[in-house]
Amino acid sequence: MLKLREERTSTITLLILIAIAYIFSVSLRFIWVEASSVIPQFYWNNEIMLNNNDGYLFAEGARDLISGSHQNNDLSGTNLPLAQLTAFFAKIVPVSFETLILYMPAFLGSLIVIPIILIGRALNQTTMGFIAALIGSIANSYYNRTMTGYYDTDMLNIVFPVLEMYSLILALTHQRNRYLIPIALSIALYQWWYPQAYTLDTALFLMILGYTVLFDRKNIYFYKIALFILIGILSIPLISKISLALLIFALFHYTKELPSKFFLAIFITILGIYFFTGGIDPIWNQIKAYIHRDSAESMLATSSLHYYNVVATVREAGNIPFSVFAERISGHTITFVLACIGYIMAIIAYRPLLVTLPLVGLGFTAMFSGLRFTIYAVPMMAIGFSYLLLWSTRRIEKSWLRYLSLFVVTAVAIYPNYTHIREYMTPTVFSNQEVAALNEFRKIASREDYVVTWWDYGYPIRYYSDVKTWIDGGKHNGDVNYPAAFVLTAQDQYSAAHMMRLYTEYTERGFAETNKTLNDFETMLTKEGFKDPNDFINALALPEYKTPQKTRDVYLFLPLRMMEIFPTVSLFSNLDLTGAEKRPSPFLFISRGIQDTGKSIELGNGISIQKSTNTVKMGMQNIPIKAFYQAGYNKNNKLQINRQTFASEGLTVIYMASYGQFLVLDDYYFNSTYIQMFVFEQYDPTLFQPVILSPMTKIYKLKI
């Protein structure tokens, strides 16, 4: 009743449909290119730059692989599959390196259409796969993570698991030994490309076992499928997995009647290797990470100190409304609901689709684990919608009317996603002015030197300036974020300077320690002779504090763009590491649009400056303005500062004239390293030396 009429599609037709879907997917990813091409600030080296921070990790790794060298402990991504693949492509594809990394996501991410269409073909429903490919390849969340410029592992992170689904559906449908190898191969490749898929593939293994027990527990072929999934999951080298899979396949292929006891021995042996090489430990670690994600403070397993939990600040790891969840998966809430209905019906009609439940389940965890997971549900929800569409139109007898209906409804389903693509004009990570500063800085700094800044900028700084950083997009736990945040928010420049030298030297020493029981910060605390972190912090403010011998230069990178996230930065340092005291939250307001009414300056969010009383009005409260500063650049790009003092206490107001922006802030933020050295260019010449001072970027060299 729910099964659709079987289709017999020729190979030529199949290839044509794949080509159409692929070209469609790639072409829509050029919309962002077209819009960005008219913005000069997006260009560097005659090409548009990347629009995601993490991409620079892989770009750095690929660059170093191509050059054949990198520094020890520079955290370059030379061992990462995407960097290795990029370096390989760079040798055979006749385009510049910048062009290659810009367009790889569009061309590789669009490969998703192939396994989606092939799933349809495996079920004798190629049209279903084709419609699903058109929708799924440009669905909001999938597009966001595979758009042009989004150079990241996401370009294949869904292609591989959907390829796994196809391999499994093919094997379950035809039950031939030759379909076992694609299962192990697709899973092994996915594990190589994205090791975090370990949990998903383990769930797939359990799903197949459950499927077998439920529907055909005496069918040894189903256990063979489970075995080859397990081989793909094993935490052993890729070549070892493939060799093992081929060996066991040959055994199955050339042995007509394999004794059940012998098969059981093989299965138990592989299962033993699974547990010996990791088992469920990686899964348990992921579970623990998400259990503790809502806690603002977290303690490391080996730590007695309380740090701020970075997951609490990551938008992708937070709860999301249902409407956002639905739109990211299917483009529209109605489309999503229909897709869910169709998916359930498709599972009932085509039992092998049950194996896709772990993928869909992972996507649905986005409701409480964060929007980053919605991407996993996209392909199967697209199949669900296309199935329901075909099922609903199956009784239309006139072919032209049926195909017209399919075309119109598919176009309607695609339209919200197309609209999203037109509106999703994400900027590049840095502007060319910032990159120009980093490029100039590259000529000044050594590859062994360190740059202290916030983790958002770690990867691009390393790529453009070829230096080392404390933290980056992959290294930003609370214990490593604390020293960086402390430097940026320090209330005096001695504290900032001492921390910069101390933590840099202890970080380098930490790379040589093989049996570490403490993190680098706590090692530093202990070896500097302190038990109480508060005593250590107080001591850093003393001018006479003795720092370790200098082994390299250290620089402070302060970009204008940090202003927007500075309140978040302060969360990591404005705390008592002992956990004994909860400190009050400091105040910083950044205007995004202003209106001068004559009597007041409206800053937004109910905050205004009352000219007649020299106060800041927030709701029903009027707070005195302690001082008013106007800071701006003249024609020679020199900073000019004017100050007016009004009261002994209250809030400080800063008008950054060159940016048309007001800051309303308390003493904590006003005295911070970032505000003093970026906004006012005020620095202690005995501690710091300016290297680059531009309106967009300030870089200082540590002199101690």
Structure tokens at 81: 């599959």
**Averaged over 270-282, what is the pLDDT?**
84
**Averaged over 415-442, what is the pLDDT?**
97
Rounded Cα gap, residues 696 and 564, in angstroms: 13
For residue 331, what are the CA distances in angstroms to 136, 369, 521, 683?
Answer: 10, 20, 45, 50
Whether 287 has a pLDDT exceeding 80, the answer reads no
Whether 291 has a pLDDT exceeding 70, the answer reads no
Contact 585, 663 (CB under 8 A): no
Rounded Cα gap, residues 110 and 229, in angstroms: 25
Dihedral sign, Cα of residue 82, residue 84, residue 86, residue 92: negative
Per-residue pLDDT at 288: 58
Question: For tokens 């600040």, what's the residue?
Answer: 313
Contact 483, 305 (CB under 8 A): no
Per-residue pLDDT at 700: 99
Helix 97-109 vs helix 11-28: crossing angle, to nearest 10? 130
Rounded Cα gap, residues 194 and 157, in angstroms: 7
Per-residue pLDDT at 317: 56
Q: Which amino acid is at 207?
A: M
- 406: confidence class by pLDDT, cuts 50, 70, 90: very high
Per-residue pLDDT at 313: 65
Whether 124 has a pLDDT exceeding 90, the answer reads yes
Domain ranges of the chain: 11-423, 432-571, 588-702
- 488: confidence class by pLDDT, cuts 50, 70, 90: very high
Parallel, antiparallel or unpaired: strands 697-702 and 688-693: antiparallel
Whether 82 has a pLDDT exceeding 80, the answer reads yes
Per-residue pLDDT at 490: 98
Helix segments in 158-258, DSSP class H: 159-174, 180-193, 198-215, 220-233, 238-254
Rounded Cα gap, residues 69 and 64, in angstroms: 6
* Helix and strand numbers, DSSP H then E, in the chain: 31, 18
- 301: confidence class by pLDDT, cuts 50, 70, 90: very low
Rounded Cα gap, residues 497 and 510, in angstroms: 20
For residue 51, what are the CA distances in angstroms to 144, 270, 378?
Answer: 11, 42, 22
Per-residue pLDDT at 70: 83
**Averaged over 30-58, what is the pLDDT?**
97
Phi, psi of 370 (to 5 degrees): 115, 150
Rounded Cα gap, residues 410 and 489, in angstroms: 53
Per-residue pLDDT at 300: 45
Q: Where does residue 347 rank: exposed (0-12), middle (13-18), buried (19+ CB within 10 A)? A: buried
Question: For tokens 């996501």, what's the residue?
Answer: 105
Rounded Cα gap, residues 603 and 662, in angstroms: 8
Whether 303 has a pLDDT exceeding 80, the answer reads no
Nearest to 679 by CA among 587, 597, 566, 569: 566
351 three-state secondary structure: helix
DSSP 41: G
**Averaged over 630-634, what is the pLDDT?**
95
Structure tokens at 156: 């294949």
Per-residue pLDDT at 579: 87
For residue 292, what are the CA distances in angstroms to 86, 283, 295, 298, 519?
Answer: 36, 15, 6, 7, 19
Q: Each residue of 158-189: pLDDT tens digit?
A: 999 999 999 999 999 999 999 999 999 999 99
Q: 442: Cβ–Cβ under 8 A, 6 or more apart, which residues?
A: 464, 465, 466, 467
Per-residue pLDDT at 87: 97
Per-residue pLDDT at 637: 85
Cβ count within 10 A of residue 424: 14
Rounded Cα gap, residues 572 and 374, in angstroms: 29
Q: What percent of the chain has pLDDT over 90?
A: 84
Q: What percent of the chain has pLDDT over 70?
A: 96
Per-residue pLDDT at 256: 76
Whether 73 has a pLDDT exceeding 50, the answer reads yes
pTM assigned to the model: 0.91
Nearest to 168 by CA among 376, 349, 359, 356: 356
Q: How far is CA 66 from the centre of its chain?
A: 25
Rounded Cα gap, residues 506 and 528, in angstroms: 10
Q: 641 has which bridge partners?
A: 631
- 353: confidence class by pLDDT, cuts 50, 70, 90: very high
Q: Each residue of 537-579: pLDDT tens digit?
A: 999 999 999 999 999 999 999 999 999 999 999 999 999 999 8
Q: Which helix (H) or strand (E) holds 326?
A: helix 322-330
Question: For tokens 């967009």, what's the residue?
Answer: 696
Contact 120, 126 (CB under 8 A): yes
Whether 367 has a pLDDT exceeding 70, the answer reads yes
Question: Of all residues in the chain, what percent are helix, strand and coil, respectively (each to 5)?
Answer: 60, 10, 30
User: Can you point out the beta strands (E) in 236-351?
Assistant: 297-298, 307-308
Nearest to 212 by CA among 228, 224, 196: 224
Phi, psi of 176 (to 5 degrees): -120, 145
Average pLDDT of the chain is 93
Structure tokens at 528: 């500097």
Contact 600, 611 (CB under 8 A): yes
Q: 656 has which bridge partners?
A: 631, 661
Per-residue pLDDT at 340: 98
Contact 71, 508 (CB under 8 A): no
Concatenating the DSSP letter of every residue in 674-698 gives HIIIIIS----TTTEEEEEE-SSEE
**Averaged over 318-341, what is the pLDDT?**
93
Nearest to 36 by CA among 151, 149, 137: 149
Structure tokens at 160: 């591989």
**Averaged over 141-148, what is the pLDDT?**
98
Structure tokens at 116: 């989606």
Cβ count within 10 A of residue 539: 15
538 three-state secondary structure: helix
Phi, psi of 688 (to 5 degrees): -130, 150
Q: Where does residue 688 rank: exposed (0-12), middle (13-18), buried (19+ CB within 10 A)? A: buried
| 432-571: CATH architecture | 3-Layer(aba) Sandwich (3.40)
Per-residue pLDDT at 318: 59
Rounded Cα gap, residues 469 and 563, in angstroms: 20
Per-residue pLDDT at 314: 62
